[in-house]
Each structure stands twice: as structure tokens, then as C-alpha cells.
Amino acid sequence: MADSYQKKEREKKKRKRKKEKQERKEQKKLEGKTQVEFMYVDEYGQFSTTPQDKPREEVKLEDITLGVPKREESDQSKYEKEGKVKFFNTEKGYGFILEKLTEDSYFVHINDLQQEIDTDDLVVFEVGSGPKGPVAINVRKI
């Protein structure tokens, strides 16, 4: 018998909540609060609530490039950096190179060498991605 009383009370509360929800919905309709807000995005990705006054810039279909253009041989020197070997352990096969311009330190492994190097050698290298950050690859003496 207690089971049916609780069941009746739950049903009563459920009907009450449903009725209140319906009343709130009708009241919002009467007040006119069903207004939808829009967000606009400008060319720099910034959000605003007002539309932009600037005319849109037309882009020709031919100007859109999909993918990455092939790297030419002449561009390769652009990616090379110069530096000095700060430390290199030939037994363990690793070391560090200090870049000449920014003085950033790059890890270098013996497998990424094109020539044998030693501490205090001047080298040319490219920057690659390693498991713990940027690394020196294609390392060779100047």
C-alpha cells in the first residue's frame, strides 16, 4: 500500500512540473522573449553582434591553392641554420647545437649527422620535430 502512495505522489509531482513548464512557455510567448540572437564573424575570426560594414573581398577560384606547393632546391638554403656544437658525446651518440642567430639549443642524434662532428665545431643544420621538441637534422660541418 505504501508503494502505491509513493507512486501516486511521484505522478502528481510530475504532472505539476509539466504544467509549470507549459505555463512558463506560454508566458514567454506572450512577452515576446523568443528573440534569436545572431553572432557575426569578421575576416579575422572575431565575433561581434553587429554585421560588418565592409564589403566582402572577392576571391577568384584560380587563386586558391589546395595542398602544399612542392619545395624547390633553391628554397633549401632558406631552411638551413648555422650554429656551434655546444656538446657532443660520441660514445653515447648525442649532443646539443647552439644556433648562431637566436642562441636556441637543439638536440642532435648521431643518426642525423651527415659528417662526424665534435664539440666547438661550426655546423649547418635543419630543424626537425622530435618526440620532446625541435631537433637538429641533416647536420654537417661548415
Domain ranges of the chain: 79-141
Return mean pLDDT, the chain: 86
Q: What is the mean pLDDT of residues 124-139?
A: 93
pLDDT recorded at residue 76: 46
pLDDT recorded at residue 115: 92
% pLDDT > 90, the chain: 54
DSSP string, the chain: -HHHHHHHHHHHHHHHHHHHHHHHHHHHHHHT--PPP--EE-TTS-EESS---SPPPP--GGG---S-PPPPGGGHHHH-EEEEEEEEETTTTEEEEEETTT--EEEEEGGGBSS---TT-EEEEEEEEETTEEEEEEEEE-
CATH topology of domain 79-141: OB fold (Dihydrolipoamide Acetyltransferase, E2P) (2.40.50)
Confidence of residue 57 (pLDDT cuts 50, 70, 90): confident
